[in-house]
Amino acid sequence: MRSFASDNNSGVHPRVMDAIIKANDNHAVGYGDDPWTEAATSKIQEVFGKDASPFFVFNGTGANSVALQAVTRPFNSILCAETAHINVDECGAPARMTGCAIVTIPTTDGKLTPELIRPHLKNFGVCHHSQPKAVYISQVSELGTIYTIEEVKAIADLLHSYDMYLHMDGARLANACAYLNCSMRQVTVDAGVDILSFGGTKNGMMMGEAVVSFRPEITENLRFYRKQSAQLASKLRYLSAQFIPYLENNLWLENAMKANISAAKLADVLRQYPEIHFTQKIESNQLFFTIPAEALRKLQDKYFFYMWNEEINEARLVTSWDTSGEDIAEFEQSLKEIFG
């Protein structure tokens, strides 16, 4: 069933699927000592710089948990937006696996700023309090909004002045770069990000992410955190092989641009109805809007999508790399029928 529920629901890009099939070639040494993992590592270093150290894992929750373990100790605290994925959608895994307190900060658009973070940078050296050590941001945010390069750098500069680390969840990093018209390196390592959860599952890959460290002291123990977190695949080549076509010939950017453009077209369809109001800026492949209750009920009869805030009838639609013109046309026709 095709829908606008999530970019997790989309299929695998044929070039990525072909790479997985090609990796299924005879025997290969397990746990990453294979030519596909070596090639994928080289590709990631071409994109992010030679000092980037990738560690391939199964999924996003695993990537975030491993990354945050690498930059904290159990007496530390991790700061994030109230809507952050690690706070809302990961069943407490990062808190459980790091032992850290998760300090949430209310935001209007899902994005943190130095001004929002600064009041929480206190009690350093006081043994009665968790010690702030890391800030988590999502690029794209959980509300579909995007950090500019300057905004990321401002946060990183603040944290580094306190000897803290910046972790970026890049599950939709490609969509952010497509919007910003920048490289992935420019908005991550060059902007001061210390460690990255680099995902492609929402953008044409089948599964898997890479935890990418940009600092030697973080890299040092990452392989152990990955193993302890049950995130080291024995047949790792099937995860890592996907990153080779994903990063070749800018497939990551091509897919993200398709998704973003589809979201813009879908937004134009929604704008035809004065009863529908957007609640967040449209910067990526996610649309947040309110819709009258009766129209919402009829739309839910035809489509599967997620509610964001049921109290105000706020819904979320997400486009994918494979969203088609027919998908949008059918949705437009449904709205015409609903609104008469």
Q: How many CB atoms lie within 10 A of CB 127?
A: 7
**120 plus 163 within the same structural domain:** yes
**d(Cα 158, Cα 164) in Å, to the nearest integer?**
9
Q: Does 7 map to a domain?
A: no
Examine the fold and report which residue of 199, 230, 245 is the final residue of a domain before the chain moves on.
Answer: 245
Provide the pLDDT for residue 340. 83
**236 plus 258 within the same structural domain:** no
pTM for the predicted model, two decimal places: 0.97
**235 plus 255 within the same structural domain:** no
**51 plus 169 within the same structural domain:** yes
Domain count of the fold of the chain: 2
**54 plus 101 within the same structural domain:** yes
- List phi, psi (to 5°) of 319: -95, 165
**105 plus 85 within the same structural domain:** yes
Provide the pLDDT for residue 141. 98
Examine the fold and report which residue of 218, 245, 272 is the final residue of a domain before the chain moves on.
Answer: 245
CATH no. for residue 272? 3.90.1150.10
**223 plus 329 within the same structural domain:** no
**227 plus 286 within the same structural domain:** no
Q: Does 192 map to a domain?
A: yes
**81 plus 218 within the same structural domain:** yes
**156 plus 295 within the same structural domain:** no
At 106, list the tokens: 């209310």
Give the Å distances, CA to CA, from 5 to 52, 190, 271, 292, 316: 33, 33, 19, 19, 7
Q: Does 254 map to a domain?
A: yes
- List phi, psi (to 5°) of 115: -65, -35
Q: Does 3 map to a domain?
A: no
Which ranges of the chain have pLDDT less than 50? none
**211 plus 273 within the same structural domain:** no
pLDDT tens-digit map of 180-230: 999 999 999 999 999 999 999 999 999 999 999 999 999 999 999 999 999
**169 plus 55 within the same structural domain:** yes
CA quadruple 110, 111, 113, 119: dihedral, nearest 10: 30
User: Where in the sequence is the domain holding 135, given as residue range(s)?
Assistant: 14-245
Give the Å distances, CA to CA, from 237 to 63, 192, 204, 205: 17, 30, 17, 14
Examine the fold and report which residue of 228, 245, 262 is the final residue of a domain before the chain moves on.
Answer: 245
Q: Does 9 map to a domain?
A: no
Provide the pLDDT for residue 2. 87
Q: Does 61 map to a domain?
A: yes
Q: What angle do CA 69, 46, 65 make, to 5 degrees?
A: 15
